Chain A
């Protein structure tokens, strides 16, 4: 049954630091920074699982390491230590950060899709919306141009970008439209895991509603696992099944989303939740 399934993604003891570190680091941290050597421990030993079809929310104040975690998973950089296994890569038995360059490209383009908080990181602003999607499809190994155009059209329609604007570059689009092009690009190869970093941050409320609705539909329709980073607890409440709370590069609490919001245990989570009421 569904509960016996292996995790889609399993992250173990992930550490990302900026700086060389020193022997006193872990005893000398002020928030995430070592007072002795100045090294920043952006992600400091976190472990979690994401199950098939599940939305895992990640909340935490700015600087707690959420983006660093997401970008490590997407191979934007290789972490200091730790491992991550994907069900779709060697049956979950291998560390993705030890994969060959070719394997990492395959994982990134076939198994995962990423939506960056800043669309500039996820899109080529001067290429057309359709070419942005085609690029992702080509990266996964397809060469069939006709099929690509059809797929781009289908994906952009799914995120409500009018066909008439497919040929326009995203730099012409509003922030909400750019996020939706990023989402359709991320979905291009039917990924098993979608990484969403603050996708609704900075969007108007009505546009936000559109993007949230889209994410809910994606989850229901494709059964994709989603890692959803947001500092907006309303977004987390609406979409996440379970939620982890990060502070200074560590996970301080995790649980069912409504339990985290209604009965938070950790002082930091209580402060986060109560500051909204």
Chain B
């Protein structure tokens, strides 16, 4: 059973000033089975992030279909779904993790994870229990829970981002170079976590820098070059 099926996805960016069309991914076809973990590799600028951002609708797809098998809506085309449908899916079914922090000011690490739930209407007590569980799961040291994450190291940020995304128990998780700028020891830790996540049957698409990293984690690996998959 496929949870996600992308066909003929292309995306260019038109910049009005200076009047320039930038080509990104071209005619992408990709099917993700339920519970599967697909890896995408490729040179910087080949269009990897563009694919994930089109799925997330942070970018507007220019052409092609992105059919997602939703729990709430059944099969839904993410390139044409309404904004409210996308918002709903981001709250309840689809998660996106990158190496970057995206937190409100004056928010501690633990509050940040809790807010992911509080913001979708779950009461603070229940949210706190789940947040604690996630922070433990992703091994963020308890001494950091009450701190503003702006000062966190790359590895700590990533663990926080994973906890923030996973606390909502998404069925589909996208990972955009989560291991970029991490040292080897932290990379191994992240690898362990992703293997554990796979066991929870979360379907995942991840972009990774180093192919070795994906060995034994990803079920299949695709290589993107100048916007197209090559074998």
Contact = CB atoms under 8 A, between A and B. Distances in A.
A195 to B, nearest CB: 21
Contacts of A164: none
B77 to A, nearest CB: 16
Contacts of B59: 259, 262-263
B72 A255 contact: no
Contacts of B85: 3
- Interface bin, chain B: 20 to 34
Q: Decide if the interface of chain A is mainly helix, strand, loop or mixed.
A: helix
B58 A270 contact: no
Given A262-B58, A263-B13, A238 B106 contact: no
B83 A220 contact: no
Contact of B104 (A53, A213, A223): A213
A223 B121 contact: yes
A238 B104 contact: yes
A241 B87 CA distance: 8
A210 interface: yes
B89 to A, nearest CB: 11
Contacts of A210: 106
Nearest to B111: A213
Given A1-B72, A241-B87, A220 B118 contact: yes
Interface string B82-119: 01111110000000000000001111000000010011
Interface in B148-206: none
Contacts of A208: 105
B23 interface: no
A210 B119 CA distance: 17
Interface in B4-26: 13-17
Contact of A256 (B15, B86, B106): B86
Contact of B58 (A212, A263, A271): A263
A73 to B, nearest CB: 21
Nearest to A51: B84
A270 B16 contact: yes
Contact of A270 (B17, B86, B119): B17
B53 interface: yes
B209 interface: no
Interface string A254-277: 011011001101110011000000
A46 to B, nearest CB: 17
A143 interface: no
Nearest to A216: B104
Contacts of B107: 213
B60 interface: yes
B34 interface: no
Contact of B15 (A213, A242, A262, A270): A270
A37 B57 CA distance: 44
Interface string B51-89: 001000111100000000000100000000001111110
Contact of A209 (B53, B72, B106, B119): B106
A254 to B, nearest CB: 8
Interface in A1-49: 1-3
Contacts of A1: 72
B106 A220 contact: no
Contacts of B72: 1
B9 to A, nearest CB: 14
Nearest to B73: A3
Given A212-B105, A241-B87, A262 B17 contact: no
Contacts of A2: 88
B104 A259 contact: no
B16 A3 contact: no
A267 B17 contact: yes
Contacts of A266: 16
Interface of A: 1-3, 51, 53, 208-210, 212-213, 216, 219-220, 223, 238, 241-242, 255-256, 258-259, 262-263, 265-267, 270-271
11 contacts: A209-B104, A212-B104, A213-B105, A216-B104, A241-B87, A256-B57, A256-B83, A259-B60, A266-B16, A267-B17, A270-B17
Given A213-B107, A220-B115, A220-B119, 18 more contacts: A2-B88, A3-B84, A51-B84, A208-B105, A209-B104, A210-B106, A212-B105, A213-B105, A216-B119, A238-B104, A256-B58, A256-B87, A259-B57, A259-B59, A262-B53, A263-B60, A267-B17, A271-B16
Interface of B: 13-17, 53, 57-60, 72, 83-88, 104-107, 115, 118-119, 121
